[in-house]
Amino acid sequence: MMFTIIFITAADKKEAGKIAEGLIKKRLAACVNIAGNIKSLFRWKGKIDKAQEVLLIVKSKKTNFRKICRFVRSVHSYQVPEIIAIPIIAGDKPYLEWINASVR
Protein backbone atom coordinates (compact mmCIF):
# COMPACT_ATOMS: atom_id res chain seq x y z
CA MET A 1 0.00 0.00 0.00
CA MET A 2 1.34 3.43 -0.97
CA PHE A 3 0.55 6.38 1.29
CA THR A 4 0.98 10.08 0.60
CA ILE A 5 0.99 13.50 2.20
CA ILE A 6 -0.76 16.14 0.14
CA PHE A 7 -0.20 19.88 0.57
CA ILE A 8 -3.07 22.18 -0.32
CA THR A 9 -3.11 25.93 0.23
CA ALA A 10 -6.37 27.79 0.83
CA ALA A 11 -7.35 31.44 0.97
CA ASP A 12 -8.48 31.37 4.61
CA LYS A 13 -9.42 29.15 7.55
CA LYS A 14 -13.06 28.92 6.48
CA GLU A 15 -12.12 27.55 3.06
CA ALA A 16 -9.51 25.24 4.60
CA GLY A 17 -12.10 23.89 7.03
CA LYS A 18 -14.58 23.24 4.22
CA ILE A 19 -11.95 21.33 2.24
CA ALA A 20 -10.73 19.36 5.25
CA GLU A 21 -14.22 18.40 6.39
CA GLY A 22 -15.21 17.32 2.88
CA LEU A 23 -12.11 15.14 2.49
CA ILE A 24 -12.76 13.42 5.83
CA LYS A 25 -16.51 12.97 5.21
CA LYS A 26 -15.84 11.46 1.78
CA ARG A 27 -13.20 9.16 3.33
CA LEU A 28 -10.59 10.51 0.94
CA ALA A 29 -8.29 11.46 3.83
CA ALA A 30 -7.58 9.93 7.22
CA CYS A 31 -6.39 13.21 8.74
CA VAL A 32 -6.05 16.83 7.68
CA ASN A 33 -3.92 19.30 9.63
CA ILE A 34 -4.67 22.99 9.12
CA ALA A 35 -1.74 25.35 9.63
CA GLY A 36 -2.68 29.03 9.56
CA ASN A 37 -1.09 32.29 8.61
CA ILE A 38 1.55 31.28 6.11
CA LYS A 39 2.95 33.88 3.74
CA SER A 40 3.24 32.74 0.14
CA LEU A 41 5.18 34.44 -2.64
CA PHE A 42 4.60 33.25 -6.19
CA ARG A 43 4.53 34.22 -9.85
CA TRP A 44 1.03 34.70 -11.21
CA LYS A 45 0.11 36.09 -14.64
CA GLY A 46 3.64 37.32 -15.24
CA LYS A 47 4.01 39.19 -11.95
CA ILE A 48 5.35 38.36 -8.51
CA ASP A 49 2.46 38.20 -6.06
CA LYS A 50 2.05 37.38 -2.37
CA ALA A 51 -0.77 36.22 -0.16
CA GLN A 52 -1.59 35.17 3.38
CA GLU A 53 -2.80 31.59 3.13
CA VAL A 54 -3.66 28.53 5.16
CA LEU A 55 -1.89 25.21 4.56
CA LEU A 56 -3.66 21.86 4.69
CA ILE A 57 -1.56 18.74 5.27
CA VAL A 58 -3.55 15.72 4.14
CA LYS A 59 -2.72 12.08 4.93
CA SER A 60 -4.16 9.56 2.51
CA LYS A 61 -3.50 6.73 0.06
CA LYS A 62 -1.78 7.49 -3.21
CA THR A 63 -4.72 5.93 -5.07
CA ASN A 64 -7.01 8.72 -3.77
CA PHE A 65 -4.95 11.57 -5.25
CA ARG A 66 -7.07 12.12 -8.38
CA LYS A 67 -10.33 12.04 -6.39
CA ILE A 68 -8.83 14.51 -3.89
CA CYS A 69 -7.84 16.83 -6.74
CA ARG A 70 -11.33 16.70 -8.26
CA PHE A 71 -12.98 17.43 -4.92
CA VAL A 72 -10.60 20.27 -4.02
CA ARG A 73 -10.99 21.95 -7.43
CA SER A 74 -14.79 21.71 -7.08
CA VAL A 75 -14.86 23.72 -3.81
CA HIS A 76 -11.70 25.86 -3.97
CA SER A 77 -11.79 29.60 -4.65
CA TYR A 78 -8.51 29.65 -6.61
CA GLN A 79 -8.35 29.27 -10.36
CA VAL A 80 -5.28 27.02 -9.94
CA PRO A 81 -5.08 25.66 -6.39
CA GLU A 82 -1.90 24.10 -5.06
CA ILE A 83 -2.46 20.36 -4.68
CA ILE A 84 0.83 18.47 -4.50
CA ALA A 85 1.63 15.00 -3.18
CA ILE A 86 4.73 13.67 -1.50
CA PRO A 87 5.11 9.92 -0.95
CA ILE A 88 5.36 8.59 2.57
CA ILE A 89 8.43 6.38 2.30
CA ALA A 90 8.19 4.99 5.83
CA GLY A 91 5.94 5.24 8.85
CA ASP A 92 4.96 3.59 12.08
CA LYS A 93 3.02 0.45 11.10
CA PRO A 94 -0.01 1.10 13.38
CA TYR A 95 -0.33 4.67 12.03
CA LEU A 96 -0.18 3.51 8.41
CA GLU A 97 -2.73 0.79 9.18
CA TRP A 98 -4.98 3.48 10.68
CA ILE A 99 -4.70 5.59 7.50
CA ASN A 100 -5.56 2.52 5.43
CA ALA A 101 -8.61 1.72 7.58
CA SER A 102 -9.80 5.34 7.60
CA VAL A 103 -9.96 5.94 3.85
CA ARG A 104 -11.59 4.13 0.97
Cut 0.85: pTM above it: yes
Q: Do residues 67 and 48 lie in contact, with contact meaning Cβ atoms separated by under 8 Å? A: no
| Per-domain boundaries in the chain | 3-102
Split the chain (104 residues) into runs of 10 and give each run's mean pLDDT: 95 97 98 95 95 97 97 97 97 96 93
Fold of 3-102: Alpha-Beta Plaits (3.30.70)
The pLDDT, as a whole number, for residue 49 is 95
The pLDDT, as a whole number, for residue 81 is 96
Q: Do residues 3 and 31 lie in contact, with contact meaning Cβ atoms separated by under 8 Å? A: no
The pLDDT, as a whole number, for residue 35 is 96
The pLDDT, as a whole number, for residue 37 is 87
The pLDDT, as a whole number, for residue 1 is 76
The pLDDT, as a whole number, for residue 104 is 84
Amino acid at 50: K
